[in-house]
Amino acid sequence: MDWVFLSELAINGVLTGLLYSLFAIGLVLIYKASSVPNLAQGGLTMVGAYVVLALSHDAGLPLWLAIPLAALIMFGLGFGIERVALRRLAGRPVVMILMLTLGLDIFLRGTTLAIWGGTSRSMELGVSYDPLFLGDIFISRIHLVGAGVALALFVAFMLFFRTRTGIKLRAIADDYMASWSVGISVERGVGLSWALASVVAVAAGVIWGEIQGVDQALSLLLLKGLTVAVLGGLDSILGAVIAGIILGVVENVGADFLDPLVGGGSRELIVAAVLILTVMIRPHGLFGRHDIERV
Amino acid sequence: MFYRLSGVHHANYVSDSRIFKVPADRNLAAFMFLIGIAAPFIIPSLYLNSYMLPWLIWTSAALGLNLVTGWAGQLHLGYAAVMAVGAYSSIHAARFGVPWEFALLVGGLTSSVIGSLFAFAALRVKGLYLALTTLAMQFAMDWVLTHSPAISGGSHASLQSPTLALLGQEITTDTGFYYVAFGWCVLVTIFMLNLKRTGLGRALVAVREKDFAAAILGVNSFYYKILAFATSSFIAGVSGALLVATFFFLAAPEQFSVAVSIQVLAMVIVGGLGSIIGSYLGVALILLVPGIVNGFVVSLSDWLGMQINVETLAHIPNAVYGALIVIILLIEPLGLGKLYGNIRDYLMVWPFDQFKK
């Protein structure tokens, strides 16, 4: 057993896992506020990455300007999606809301590719590709940057949920009706959660776009993001971060053991297995709220 | 108008539990059936083969999913995987030399067994979590399919389907394929029409509305959930096998990917949960309209003399397909079946009762 190799796998697993968390935070934000499973987060991430590209490469803006501008645009898009589509289905059975977000995902993907084309493009963030060596352990710089962004977002949201607006969102997450009756605008709160999730999608899109190129594959992060969100508990941001780390390590180390046995490509299988096991054993996840169903 | 209720009196239970209570419904169904039979003589062979045939097979598949999602209320995002099980097992059986009639049965039964695995997830969780579990199961099954050459057929990952032969007749013409699909679709439709007036159908609806409440009423929800999954998987398996045998002729894993699962679910929901005519309409909309819109865009750009990027054209059907789902859900969350129902209700009492609103 090569401990250096194993710890390299684990550390890179932690970093990759934090990148999954970056994606999953968007899912959790929306689920927390409105109990809507946002299966369009993959599409949003893709749109976010393409908007950044359009602003920086096509319009020639510098990146430091393009990314905040893209975040602003996506903020509006998130608000718009909630206003036009989700609000009208509020209170409907989950199957319809699920289908609506799936339809949105397909629509966003199709439209993005119709406008900007399907060829993979690179983000060119300017992060060096030279590996970083920590002793004998090899670490990719962009993963490190992404993990830093994920943690920064986590801290930012923790602080945000202590502000006045954040407390309103927490109240909405806790009880729709009660928030309504004390004068909180539930609609605006849910809209805000969509807008914030879209901003998170920009961050995820930029980092993942730098890692694997900006193309349709960005929306495939959905399964991993969902697994992380469910494992952490769908309404817990802390859960998303911790579950991301867990999934990253399990996936990285597990794939190393399993790949020789099954002939490669076992990552997806591990992710699917983690999702199935989580739902079977502990559906509300590690830190999620355990809802009791009443007849 | 059209759907006249005049003279329709139910004096006994038998007449009250008929499939078509209004004569117009029966006449419409008979008319559609006759058109279905006459289709090969009316419709050019190209359209028959590339539109009617997939429409009928996908409708039977969608009806199967409607059984488990619309009637029994269990979300299922792994339906394409179940179809794949049926397709691959019947093709392997047919290649092994089993007659096609039995090969289809083998496919259906294998699907039933594998599909019942999904039911065990349904026993533990429901709603969103069930959807996610079935989605994960779809990914796992996809993985197994693509990573086992013994199933998916060697390095090219495609499996040639042997010539379809039913009752000793080799079927090679477009008309023949069409009638096979038509026959299967009619069988499934008759089954589904009858379902709602049997004890099984009522039990499924009870489980859908509230499984605890159903259990208190003495409906064994455990048993009926498994039964719903097994029955719908049987339909899925045979539909999948027929899809490959009459339409693709070659089985490949990407024909049954997660996107296909989503597509079938979209057909069912756009059509309307628990609506049979809705499934027909939903499949037609999801399957045919994106292509039609694309053709329209092409001719429009030709007419305007604009040059549209090839890549843009390639992705327009996808965007349209997503937009259709969203628009239909926003207009009428209960789907096209409900829209049809609204029109029918309106016509039923026309010209009376129009001033109330």
In a domain, A177, yes or no: yes
Report pLDDT for B79.
Answer: 93
Q: pLDDT tens for residues A223-277?
A: 899 999 999 988 888 999 999 999 999 988 888 888 777 776 788 888 899 999 9
Q: Which two tokens stand for residue B154?
A: 């060697």
Q: Which of A42-46, A207-211, B24-28, B213-217 has the highest mean pLDDT?
A: A42-46
User: At residue B356, does pLDDT exceed 70?
Assistant: no
Q: pLDDT tens for residues B85-112?
A: 999 999 889 888 888 889 999 999 999 9
Number of Cβ within a 10 Å radius of residue B349: 14
Q: Hey, where are the domains in chain B?
A: 42-348
When the pLDDT of each residue in chain B is averaged and rounded to a whole number, the result is 86
Task: Kindly tell me the number of DSSP H helices and DSSP E strands found in chain A.
Answer: 11, 2
In a domain, A283, yes or no: no
User: At residue B55, does pLDDT exceed 80?
Assistant: yes
Residue A175: helix, strand or coil by DSSP? coil
C-alpha–C-alpha distance, residues A240 and B169, integer Å = 59
In a domain, A253, yes or no: no
Q: What angle do CA A101, A103, A105 make, to 5 degrees?
A: 70
Residue B224: helix, strand or coil by DSSP? helix
Report the chain A residue with the minimal C-alpha distance to residue B75.
A95
Please, are residues A77 and A108 in contact by the beta-carbon 8 Å criterion? no
In a domain, A244, yes or no: no
The answer, for A250 touching chain B at a CB cutoff of 8 Å, is no
User: At residue B161, does pLDDT exceed 80?
Assistant: no
Q: Select from B129, B269, B319 the Cβ nearest to the Cβ of A114.
A: B319
Report pLDDT for A293.
Answer: 65
Report pLDDT for A212.
Answer: 84
Q: pLDDT tens for residues B320-329?
A: 889 999 999 9
Report pLDDT for B157.
Answer: 65
Lowest mean per-residue pLDDT among B160-169, B235-244, B317-326 = B160-169
When the pLDDT of each residue in chain A is averaged and rounded to a whole number, the result is 86
Report pLDDT for A103.
Answer: 92
Across the A:B interface, residue pairs with CB atoms under 8 Å apart total 147
User: At residue A178, does pLDDT exceed 70?
Assistant: yes
Report pLDDT for B61.
Answer: 94
Q: Select from B135, B265, B320 the Cβ nearest to the Cβ of A99.
A: B265
In a domain, A48, yes or no: yes
C-alpha–C-alpha distance, residues A163 and A169, integer Å = 10
Backbone angles phi, psi at A132, to 5 degrees: -105, 135
User: At residue A295, does pLDDT exceed 70?
Assistant: no
Contact between chains at B132 and A230 (C-beta distance less than 8 A): yes
Closest CA of chain A from B297, distance in Å: 13
Q: pLDDT tens for residues B251-272?
A: 888 888 888 999 999 999 999 8
Q: Select from A107, A230, A280 the Cβ nearest to the Cβ of B322.
A: A107
* 3-state SS, one letter per residue, for chain B: CCCCCCCCCCCCHHHHCCCCCCHHHHHHHHHHHHHHHHHHHHCCHHHHHHHHHHHHHHHHHHHHHHHHHHHCCCCCCCHHHHHHHHHHHHHHHHHHCCCHHHHHHHHHHHHHHHHHHHHHHHHHCCCHHHHHHHHHHHHHHHHHHHHCHHHHCCCCCCEECCCCEECCEECCCHHHHHHHHHHHHHHHHHHHHHHCCCHHHHHHHHHHHCHHHHHHCCCCHHHHHHHHHHHHHHHHHHHHHHHHHHHHCEECHHHHCHHHHHHHHHHHHHHCCCCHHHHHHHHHHHHHHHHHHHHHHHHHHHHHCCCCCHHHHHHHHHHHHHHHHHHHHHHCCCHHHHHHHHHHHHHHCCCCCCCCC
Task: Tell me the average pLDDT across B290-313.
Answer: 80
Report pLDDT for B355.
Answer: 55
C-alpha–C-alpha distance, residues A69 and A93, integer Å = 36
What's the domain range around A133?
3-216
A contacts of B317 (beta carbons < 8 Å): 110
Q: pLDDT tens for residues B18-47?
A: 888 788 888 889 999 999 988 888 888 888
B contacts of A88 (beta carbons < 8 Å): 330
User: At residue A106, does pLDDT exceed 70?
Assistant: yes
The answer, for B317 touching chain A at a CB cutoff of 8 Å, is yes
The answer, for B227 touching chain A at a CB cutoff of 8 Å, is no
In a domain, A174, yes or no: yes
Report pLDDT for B304.
Answer: 80
Element (H, E) at A287: none
% of chain A exceeding 90 in pLDDT: 34
The single-letter DSSP state of residue B70 is I
Q: Give the number of C-alpha atoms closer than 13 A to the C-alpha of residue A26, restricted to the C-beta side.
A: 32
ipTM, two decimals: 0.88
C-alpha–C-alpha distance, residues B331 and B324, integer Å = 10
Report pLDDT for B33.
Answer: 92
Number of structural domains found in chain A: 1
Residue A139: helix, strand or coil by DSSP? strand
Element (H, E) at A47: helix A41-53
Report pLDDT for B65.
Answer: 94
The answer, for B132 touching chain A at a CB cutoff of 8 Å, is yes
Q: What angle do CA B36, B38, B44 make, to 5 degrees?
A: 100
C-alpha–C-alpha distance, residues A216 and A209, integer Å = 10
Please, are residues A274 and A250 in contact by the beta-carbon 8 Å criterion? yes
> Which CATH code is given to the segment(s) B42-348?
1.10.3470
Q: Which of A60-69, A193-202, B153-162 has the highest mean pLDDT?
A: A193-202
Q: Which two tokens stand for residue A244?
A: 């991301």
